[in-house]
């Protein structure tokens, strides 16, 4: 059975801090790793990572995939209160049918 584990489960930081979220995966016939942000509503897409070692960046958020060690990290720099959310990662197999989600990391950014 496929498994995706996120750490930490939750963290509290102050505005301006840098946050690193971890996602390890065991997905049969792995194709891609996806990151989502969820703020008390439906998850919204952040990144899809397919190639190892290539950083994807969007503003203050960046993410990278290590297919040898089977993990991904999501970095948020210069955090703002609007970054407070649950961050979810999911593994996608090559047959595309089934995403396996981790339990999420709850990030709270205090002013």
Partner 1 sequence: EAQVTQNPRYLITVTGKKLTVTCSQNMNHEYMSWYRQDPGLGLRQIYYSMNVEVTDKGDVPEGYKVSRKEKRNFPLILESPSPNQTSLYFCASRTGSLEQYFGPGTRLTVT
Instruction: State the residues that interact with partner 1 by CB under 8 A.
Output: 9, 31-32, 34, 41-45, 48, 88, 90, 92, 96-104
Closest CB to partner 1 among 34 and 64? Answer: 34
Asked if 108 and 84 count as a contact pair (C-beta separation under 8 A), the reply is yes
Closest CB to partner 1 among 71 and 101? Answer: 101
- Least Cβ distance, residue 16 to partner 1 (angstroms): 29
Closest CB to partner 1 among 79 and 105? Answer: 105
Closest CB to partner 1 among 74 and 92? Answer: 92
* 20 half-sphere exposure, CB direction, 13 A CA radius: 4
User: Exposure pattern of 12-23 as b/e (b: 16+ CB <10 Å)?
Assistant: ebeeeeebebeb
Give the separation between CA 39 and CA 24, rounded to whole angstroms. 22
- Least Cβ distance, residue 103 to partner 1 (angstroms): 4
Give the separation between CA 75 and CA 97, rounded to whole angstroms. 28
- Least Cβ distance, residue 97 to partner 1 (angstroms): 6
- Least Cβ distance, residue 17 to partner 1 (angstroms): 25
Give the separation between CA 16 and CA 28, rounded to whole angstroms. 38
């Amino acid at each position: 059975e496929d498994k995706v584990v996120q750490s930490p489960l939750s963290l509290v930081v102050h505005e301006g801090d840098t946050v690193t979220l971890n996602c390890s995966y065991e997905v049969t016939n792995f194709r891609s790793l996806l990151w989502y942000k969820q703020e008390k509503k439906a998850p919204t897409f952040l990144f899809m990572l397919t190639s190892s070692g290539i950083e994807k960046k969007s503003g203050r958020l960046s993410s990278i995939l290590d297919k040898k060690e089977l993990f991904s990290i999501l970095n948020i720099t210069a955090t703002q209160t609007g970054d407070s959310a649950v961050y979810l990662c999911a593994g996608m197999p090559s047959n595309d049918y089934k995403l396996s989600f981790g339990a999420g990391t709850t990030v709270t950014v205090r002013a």
